[in-house]
Structure formats: structure tokens, C-alpha cells
Chain A
Amino acid sequence: MSAPFTVPCCRVCGHLAYPPRILCPECGANDWTRTLADSGIVTEVTVRRPVFKRRQLPWGDWLDQEAVRLAAVHVDVGERSVRIVSRVPEGVETGDRVTLVAQASTAIALPGQVVEAAPDEAAPARSAAAAPESE
């Protein structure tokens, strides 16, 4: 189950704050709405290997832990931007444009905050060349 990815947006000054804050870091207001932030460019990718070897697993939780592909995604919303840590599927590389979806995890009961990025098939042409330098 997934939904379009949105981020908190200050109603007073438009600042984007993900994950959410209480007071807006820019203007100090506490008046938030959410805005669609579903398209971004991957700035870095890593693959986190399973941390535990089988013999180190008396407690079981991580028994079937698989390699997890993770990315930092630079999301532009108009003139503003926000940096998201996201899971990405196999094949997504630095410089790729991705679509972010909010996915309610079935394994962990969370209110739709698990972020998962998927390749944006609608816009494959806007890939590597557009990768922004982080600074």
C-alpha cells in the first residue's frame, strides 16, 4: 500500500521540514500543511549489508536480514528543496530521478512514514545529467 509522498510545509513562509518539526526553523510559526514532494534526484547510494552473521544470532530478529539499498534523495519542490533518506530498488543509481511514495509498512505499524522510492518510468530522460551537486 503506498500513497504520494508529502512533506510538512510551513503555511506562513513555505519552508519544508522533513521530518516534521514543531516550530518552523525559518520563521518560527507553528502552522503546517503538507505539500507533494514526490520527485527527486538521487545524490548518493549505498547498500547496507546484513550486520550479523548467522552464528551471532541467538535472538532471531535479524535472521533473514537482506542487503538493503539506501539513498539520499534531493527533492525539489518549486524553489525549495528537502533531503530524504530513502530505500531504493535495485538498479537505482546516483544521478537518477526517482518518484517517492509513502508506504505503510505491513511489518511495522507506522502511520505511512516509511519512504520508498521507485524508478520514475514516466520521466526516464531526466536522469543523470540533472544530478545536483549537494553544495
Chain B
Amino acid sequence: MVGFGEMVERERVTTAPAPVIAGAGSAAYERHPGVERRTETFIAEAVVAALADAGIHKNEVDGLGIASFSLAPDHAIDLTWKLGMRVRWVMEDSNGGASAINMLQHAIRAIEAGDAETIVLAAGDRMEKREFHLMTDRYNRVARDYLAPLPLNGPNALFAFLTERYGRLHGLEREDFGCIPLAQRAWAGKNPLAVYRRPMTLAEYMESVPIAPPLTRFDCVPIVSGGDAIVVTTPERAARLKGPHAGVRAIRALHNHDQQEGDGIHSGFAEFRDDLWAAAGARPEDLDSAHIYDDYPVMVLVQLADLGVIPDDDVKRYLHKTILEEMWPVNTSGGQLSAGQAGASGGMHGLAEAVRQLRGRAGERQVPDAELALATGYGMVLYTHGACHNAAVLERRGG
């Protein structure tokens, strides 16, 4: 770990008072929704839930940001209309698992600049297996022309390569990677919205169905339909609402850091780590919880390590001791691995959970005295690995 010594000397870049996240809400994730439950249904339910959590009426919303893979032919403006909003700011984000934090990065600046006062950011998809595979085969031109014909059928094989590569580098076997799905399943047992809540044993994990070895069923996210949303507003507006709220200390991003020519396990997170923590005026060890984009266990490790949360090179010890034995709060909702991946909502899932933790609204899984949280986004496999990397450091504010 480098650079943390000088980092604490640097002044916080953030100008106060910054916008805050005043609420979070989710549509219940479903494995096999009825035909009447469309993508817009899930997004709308999440928006309504987030507004209710914040205590804000839809008529007060003047900005809307949407991320979805399956909203076509509709766009954010169609949802603006269907939700009966009049907005001064609208955006649509196509960056998959990185879309939520990307939208938040834009929304913060829009509110600071006075372009909008209260922005709802929402993501969601109706996503079943067939829709999922049609989506992945046509994800981009390269997926369509260079990967789908192999045939690849989605990113599992690519992340099998990364898992094997990372395991070789750090001396990890399947039972080591399994600490992440096992711990997250234990957290999911406390989340009524998770699709997999039954406790899982190491034996069950080890014997699970191979999908693309070394990946098995429990290393891959269950495909679900669902939606998540947050409400971002000014500190003045938030002061009249029931707190505490989630303040944004810092957001940093790096996209296409290696031109898809790197190994996929040395990420862009490492490149902005020092800048992120300096801007946040905090260190990784100050965190009370981490909400890490978990499309596969290996990516949780890559992000935790590259952002400095894993304190040394001993990834194996961190897995067994910190994550599984001590249950240090990583992905307290159960993450996508247990709660499910609802398309583009996968990027909003962890951010919404971070907000719940900081607002003290995480129910049975509430982390005591949660003051500082990390949320990350990772997305858009262009050829061999995700190209979009971003992270936000959030703090409990007010209340």
C-alpha cells in the first residue's frame, strides 16, 4: 500500500456543504415476474420507494437519471412523463454496473451548479435468462462479432479466466474464493428482499454445479428482475427531512484504463485510490462498511485490494478471517451474488444499500454506528473485462 502517508496531509478537495442522498428504495427482486411486470414497472416501484424513504413528493423532483438495458424503445424522458415529473435535468446512463455512481457523479455537480435541486437516480431491468443472453450476445459490436460466435453466451467464461489468473497470483483455491459467497449469503439471510436467503455451507458451495470452471453456480449472480433508486438533494432541502442522510465525500472514476490490453486483475481502482481517499479525507481503515460491485467473487477481491481495503498482500487471510469469520460488513444486502442481479440495477444495488446503512435503515443487518461507507461500480466488458471503474465514499450526515 503506497501513498497513504502523504494522503492524510492533503486538504479535502470537496467544497461544503455538498449535496446529500436523502433516501433509497428498491423494487422487490423477482426471479420470474409475470408478463405484466415490465422494466418500467420495476424502475417506477423503486422510484416510489426511494421518494417515500426520503419523504419527498414526486412534484418536488426536478431531475431524473435512468440506467437500464431493457427500457427500449423508451428512454428517460418517457419515464419522466409516465412518472408525472417536470424536470430541469435529465440523463440516461449506459454504463451498466458503473452507471449508478456515474449518474451520482453528474447529479452532484448539477445540484451544486444549481441546474436542479432534487434528482432521482434509478436503475432497473426486467431480466430473465433468455433476455440476459440476448443482451450479452449483443452487448456491443465486439461481443456480437468476436465473442458470441465462439459461442461465449455471457461473461462467465471471461471471469473464469480472471478467477484462475487471480488465484494463481495470490495462491487461492476455490474454498478461498468461496468465503465471499458464503459470507454474503449469511448477510442475505437478514435481507427480506434477497432472492437467496437460505444459509449456505462450504460443502454446498464446493459441490455446486459447475458453470465455467473454476466458477460454479454460487460464483455467478442469479439473474433477476428488479430496480433500485436514490434521491439526491441539496443540504438545505435535506435539513427539512428526516435524517440522517448520506453525504458524498468523494467520487472518483477511471474508464478504459488499460485499453482491454491488461490482465483484468490490475484495475483502474488502483490508479485513483490515493486520490479518492485524499478527496474523502479518510482512509480505508475508517470504513464501517463496503458495498463492492460483485458480479463475481474475484472482482470483489480485485476492488477491495486495489482500493486499499485489504491492508496487505495476504488476500487469503483477509478472506477467511475478515470476511468470513469476523463478517466485516462487505455487501450487507447479500450483494448481487445472493440478492440477485437485476440488469443495470446491479450498479445501484450496492449504492442503495450503503445509503440504508448510513441512514440506519438496514433492519436486521444494520451495522452499528455506521458513519463511513464505500460503494463501487464496475461494468461494461468490452472484450475481456470491465472497462468502467468508479467508487464513492459516503458519510452519515445530520439526523
A binding-site residues for B, Cβ under 8 Å:
19, 21, 25, 43-44, 46-49, 51-52, 56, 59, 62, 68, 70, 72, 82-83, 85-87, 94, 105, 108, 110, 113-115, 133-135
B150 contacts A87, CB within 8 Å? yes
Point out the residues of chain A lying under 8 angstroms from B384, CB to CB: 72, 83, 85
5 A-B pairs with least C-beta separation: A46-B160, A44-B161, A25-B259, A46-B212, A134-B263
Q: How far is the CA of A46 from the CA of B133 in the complex (A)?
A: 19
Contact of B73 with A by CB under 8 A: no
Contact of B147 with A by CB under 8 A: yes
Point out the residues of chain A lying under 8 angstroms from B152, CB to CB: 48, 68, 70, 85
B146 contacts A86, CB within 8 Å? no
B151 contacts A68, CB within 8 Å? yes
Contact of B146 among A43, A85, A133, A134 (CB under 8 A): A85
B129 contacts A85, CB within 8 Å? no
A48 contacts B129, CB within 8 Å? no
Contact of A19 among B133, B146, B214 (CB under 8 A): B146
B383 contacts A51, CB within 8 Å? no
Known: A70-B157, A85-B383. A44 touches B149 (CB 8 A): no
Known: A19-B146, A113-B145. A72 touches B161 (CB 8 A): yes
A68 contacts B150, CB within 8 Å? yes
A70 contacts B149, CB within 8 Å? no
Q: How far is the CA of A133 from the CA of B263 in the complex (A)?
A: 10
B216's closest neighbor in chain A, by CB? A49
Q: How large is the interface on B (under 10, 10 to 19, 20 to 34, 35 or more residues)?
A: 35 or more
A114's closest neighbor in chain B, by CB? B149
Contact of B266 with A by CB under 8 A: yes
Shortest beta-carbon distance, A8 to chain B, in Å? 12
Contact of B210 with A by CB under 8 A: yes
Q: How far is the CA of A94 from the CA of B161 in the complex (A)?
A: 11
B 156-171 binary contact with A (CB < 8 Å = 1; else 0): 1110110011001100
Residues 147-192 of B at the A interface (beta carbon under 8 Å): 147, 149-154, 156-158, 160-161, 164-165, 168-169
Q: How far is the CA of A70 from the CA of B137 in the complex (A)?
A: 16
Contact of B154 among A43, A51, A113 (CB under 8 A): A51
Q: How far is the CA of A72 from the CA of B159 in the complex (A)?
A: 11
A134's closest neighbor in chain B, by CB? B263
A135 contacts B263, CB within 8 Å? yes
Query: Besides the contacts A19-B146, A46-B161, A85-B383, what 20 more A-B pairs have beta carbons closer than 8 Å?
Result: A21-B259, A46-B164, A46-B213, A46-B214, A48-B152, A48-B153, A51-B133, A51-B153, A56-B129, A68-B152, A68-B157, A70-B152, A70-B157, A72-B384, A83-B261, A83-B384, A85-B150, A85-B152, A113-B145, A135-B266
B129 contacts A43, CB within 8 Å? no
Shortest beta-carbon distance, A1 to chain B, in Å? 14
Q: How far is the CA of A47 from the CA of B259 in the complex (A)?
A: 26
Known: A85-B383, A113-B145, A114-B150. A48 touches B161 (CB 8 A): no
B258's closest neighbor in chain A, by CB? A25
B 114-152 binary contact with A (CB < 8 Å = 1; else 0): 000000000000000110010000000010011101111
B169 contacts A49, CB within 8 Å? no
B165 contacts A49, CB within 8 Å? no
Known: A43-B165, A44-B161, A86-B150. A25 touches B261 (CB 8 A): yes
A47 contacts B212, CB within 8 Å? yes
Known: A68-B150, A85-B150, A86-B150. A47 touches B213 (CB 8 A): yes
Q: How far is the CA of A86 from the CA of B165 in the complex (A)?
A: 16
A52 contacts B129, CB within 8 Å? yes
Question: Which residue among B129, B152, B153, B158 has the maximum number of chain A CB atoms within 10 Å of its CB?
Answer: B153
20 contacts between A and B (CB under 8 A): A43-B165, A44-B160, A46-B157, A46-B160, A46-B164, A46-B212, A48-B152, A49-B210, A51-B153, A52-B129, A72-B161, A83-B261, A83-B263, A85-B161, A108-B149, A115-B146, A115-B150, A133-B169, A135-B263, A135-B266
Q: How far is the CA of A87 from the CA of B157 in the complex (A)?
A: 11
Point out the residues of chain B lying under 8 angstroms from A21, CB to CB: 259
Q: How far is the CA of A58 from the CA of B266 in the complex (A)?
A: 41
